[in-house]
Amino acid sequence: MNSILEAKNLSFSWGESPVFTEVGFDIQPRQIVAIVGVNGAGKSTLMKCLNRILAPSSGSVVINSKDVSKMPLLELAKQVSYVPQSVSTSFPLDVYDVVMLGRRPYISWRISDGDRAFVSDTISLFDLEDFAFRRFDQLSGGERQRVIIAKAVAQNPSLFLLDEPTSDLDLKNQIMVMKSIRKLVDNKENNCSALIAIHDLNMAARFADSILMLHDGKMKAFGPPEEVFSKKNISEVFGVTSELISSTDSAPMRIHILDIPNDESAGN
């Protein structure tokens, strides 16, 4: 089966200072890939390079066998939808109209009945009916995040790029958001995949099929969670010691973060 996304030899630098070099991976249909790494490892930057928000300094990105750099932005928006870490706004719309922006790539001017039906269904899917005509800025962080993800879903893309979708959320909302993404990707009709930048390794192990580990501007590891999350990798990348509990039929693998090794923590 064809990959949804193929990234080859991607590099990016701000002026002279490189953020990451030679990153290459692919994403199969109905897969969730989680990007992990420390702050500043280039998770967000990598995501923006896939979506043409930033132009990679070298390498190529191919989505559904089409070169992203040659695609018109409107066409790209039908293939990929991006959910930024947070959206703050001076000019808030009603929730319904925010989700409607996801239909923007398909609308020239008039909103068709089909677009409206799609938006209404998406709003129900994310349990947002009660907020549908509230202003976006009057929602809580978790509700806003759900609205922006719903907008991404309304775009009906092949690939979701989610930049730390759970970072501002409480525990219940974190699981709700991750579950809804898993449900979307598992749905055979959609034939879509997701790439998620995330800090919580346990969330990554639980919901992702593959883990992409970034370290020092390089791809440290790429593969299934059991392979990538070794004590050695976790210690080298995050600088912490850990204890691993393998997955069972009923539970995903668990990672217990223990401590910072002595020589680093106390200073002198």
Partner 1 sequence: MESITERHVQNGHVQIVIMLAIASATILMGLFAMGVGSSVQLDKVLTLKIILGISEADSLQSDIIWQLRFPRILMAITCGVALATAGALMQGCLGNPLVSPLTLGVASGASLGAALAIVFGLHVTDFLDPLLNSGPLEKLDFGSIGIVVNAFFFSLIVVAIIIQLGRMRSISAESYILVGIAITFICGAIVSTIQYFASDAEISQLTHWSFGSLSRPDLGQTIWIAALITALMPVAIVFAWDLNSMALGGDDFAISTGVDPQITRVGILVLSAGMTSIVIAFTGLIGFVGLAAPHMTRLVIGNDYRKLLPCSAVTGAFLVLLADTIGRTIFAPIIIPVGVMLSVIGGPFFMYLLLANRGVSH
Does residue 120 bind partner 1 (CB under 8 A)? yes
- Two tokens, residue 50: 């896939």
- Two tokens, residue 75: 């066409």
Interacting residue with partner 1 among 26, 94, 200, 236 (CB under 8 A):
94
Does residue 17 bind partner 1 (CB under 8 A)? no
* CB closer to partner 1 out of 116 and 179: 116
* CB closer to partner 1 out of 37 and 102: 102
Phi-psi region of 36 (alpha: psi -120 to 50; beta: other; left: phi over 0): beta
Does residue 43 bind partner 1 (CB under 8 A)? no
Interacting residue with partner 1 among 105, 165, 217, 225 (CB under 8 A):
105
* CB closer to partner 1 out of 148 and 201: 148
Contacts by residues 104-109 (CB-CB < 8 Å, ≥ 24 positions apart): 104/77, 105/74, 105/75, 105/77, 105/78, 105/155, 106/78
* CB closer to partner 1 out of 38 and 101: 101
Q: Which residues pair with 33 in a beta bridge?
A: 195, 210
Does residue 245 bind partner 1 (CB under 8 A)? no
Phi-psi region of 214 (alpha: psi -120 to 50; beta: other; left: phi over 0): beta
Residues 155-214 that bind partner 1 (CB under 8 A): 155
* CB closer to partner 1 out of 133 and 230: 133
Interacting residue with partner 1 among 82, 207, 222, 238 (CB under 8 A):
82
Crossing angle of helices 171-186 and 141-154, rounded to 10°:
10
- Two tokens, residue 72: 């018109």
C-alpha–C-alpha distance, residues 173 and 184, integer Å: 16
- Contact assessment for residue 13 and residue 48, using Cβ atoms and an 8 Å cutoff: no
- Two tokens, residue 203: 């969330």
Does residue 76 bind partner 1 (CB under 8 A)? yes
Interacting residue with partner 1 among 38, 62, 125, 132 (CB under 8 A):
132
Residues 133-152 that bind partner 1 (CB under 8 A): 133, 135-136, 148, 152
- Which residues contribute to the site for partner 1 (CB under 8 A)? 48, 51-53, 73-78, 80-84, 87, 89-94, 96-98, 101-102, 104-105, 107, 109, 116-117, 119-120, 123, 129, 132-133, 135-136, 148, 152, 155
